[in-house]
Amino acid sequence: MALSSDSIELFLAVVDHGSFSAAARALRRVPSAVSMGIANIEAELGYPLFDRSHREATPTPQALALLPHARSVASRLRTLQVHAVELSQDLESTLTIAIATGISADELLTALTGIGDRHPLLRVHLLTLPPDQVRRALHEERADLALLAMPPGVDREEAFVHVADERFVAVASATVDTAGLPTELRRLEDLGGSRQIVVDGPDDAVADARHLVSDNRWFVDSTEAALGLVERGAGWANLPTAVVRDAVASGRIRTLEFDNVTNGITAPVHLVWLRRRPVRRAAGEVIALMRPSRPVRR
């Protein structure tokens, strides 16, 4: 075909350098080889690419029409070549990160944007899942990294870096009565007889036990569903402050108050990976960008 990668390179060299001789010097070829190469392309296309009546090689209207597309193809080819080399240097083809629902991922998204600029052909897959499913995706090796609020204790199979702290607060509807919630709520333990909306899987052994107060529980897989149920009075919930901020400000839900304890649970948010799996290039860059000033804990 006339427009192979080599012919596109040759065509652009003549356009950019203005003559066959200058293009030959840039490509480290003899001028006759450049002239013959362009002539072969023109013969296959059936029209001239350059006006040779002047000292400089002037692109024809057809050449100018092809020019932006040729530059696009050349740019994509260079990107492909770089990516092919990166794959040989331990860059993964796809980076999968599982994020616990309700956890702020702003810093992670900023880090991924920078990595995407450096590795434009890297595929990134973000999964937003309930906390128990995030851990499961990581341990089943369906995710390379996991971002979640960690309960107390350390899993020896996991390595992690602390990236933030997330505060969870108990909230209920501000407009309708909540099922089972005492009218005169004073103590945390008074929540025990009301229905709790839990954002997690239905396995109580997996959920962070500090969040489990009521014996009557509904389980949902998103903070949006939990917030909607809370607003309608279906139950109360422990939710991240960032998730409930707007609903509290607009008067749709209220933060509960207790006489015997301050409302709120603070949990460290960790970026987690498995010790048994080597950290590949893009994943390692995410870890470094999330907390570049802190040593990674192993």
Q: What is the pLDDT of residues 248-278, one digit of tens each?
A: 999 999 999 988 888 888 888 999 999 888 8
Q: Rounded mean pLDDT of 85-110?
A: 83
Neighbour count for residue 103 (Cβ, 10 Å): 22
Name the fold adopted by 165-267: D-Maltodextrin-Binding Protein; domain 2 (3.40.190)
- CATH class of the domain comprising 5-88: mainly alpha
Q: What would the CATH number be for the domain defined by 94-164+268-290?
A: 3.40.190.10
pLDDT score of 292: 53
Where in the chain are all domains bearing CATH 3.40.190.10?
94-164+268-290
Where in the chain are all domains bearing CATH 3.40.190.290?
165-267
Q: Are 236 and 170 in contact (CB under 8 A)?
A: yes
**DSSP 8-state symbol, 205:** T
Q: Band of the pLDDT at 297, cuts 50, 70, 90?
A: very low
Check whether 52 has a pLDDT greater than 50. yes
Q: What pTM was computed for the model? A: 0.65
Rounded Cα–Cα distance for residues 2 and 44 (Å): 6
How many Å separate Cα 89 from the centre of its chain?
22
Rounded Cα–Cα distance for residues 14 and 45 (Å): 17
Q: What is the pLDDT of residues 105-146, one digit of tens each?
A: 989 999 999 998 888 888 899 999 888 888 889 999 999 999
**DSSP 8-state symbol, 189:** G
Residues whose CB is less than 8 angstroms from the CB of residue 67 and which lie 6 or more positions away in sequence, other chains included: 12, 15, 59
Check whether 246 has a pLDDT greater than 80. yes
Q: Band of the pLDDT at 155, cuts 50, 70, 90?
A: confident
DSSP conformation letters of 84-146: HHHHHTT--SEEEEEEETTS--HHHHHHHHHHHHH-TT-EEEEEEE-HHHHHHHHHTTS-SEE
Check whether 51 has a pLDDT greater than 50. yes
Q: What percent of the chain has pLDDT over 70?
A: 89
Residues whose CB is less than 8 angstroms from the CB of residue 154 and which lie 6 or more positions away in sequence, other chains included: none
Query: How many alpha carbons lie under 13 Å from residue 11 in its C-beta half-sphere?
Result: 29
pLDDT score of 88: 57
Rounded Cα–Cα distance for residues 191 and 207 (Å): 18
Q: Helices (H) and strands (E) in the chain — how many of each?
A: 9, 11
Query: How many alpha carbons lie under 13 Å from residue 54 in its C-beta half-sphere?
Result: 9
Rounded Cα–Cα distance for residues 41 and 58 (Å): 16
pLDDT score of 296: 46
Q: Rounded mean pLDDT of 67-88?
A: 75
pLDDT score of 298: 44
SS3 296: coil
Q: What is the pLDDT of residues 8-36, one digit of tens each?
A: 888 888 888 888 888 888 888 888 888 88
pLDDT score of 197: 92
Where in the chain are all domains bearing CATH 1.10.10.10?
5-88
Report the b/e string of 128-140 with b at 16+ CB within 10 A: bbbbbbbbbbbbe
**DSSP 8-state symbol, 263:** S
Q: What is the pLDDT of residues 191-241, one digit of tens each?
A: 888 999 998 866 655 556 777 888 888 989 889 999 999 999 999 999 999
Q: Report which of residues 170 and 151 the model is more confident about.
A: 170
Q: Band of the pLDDT at 151, cuts 50, 70, 90?
A: low
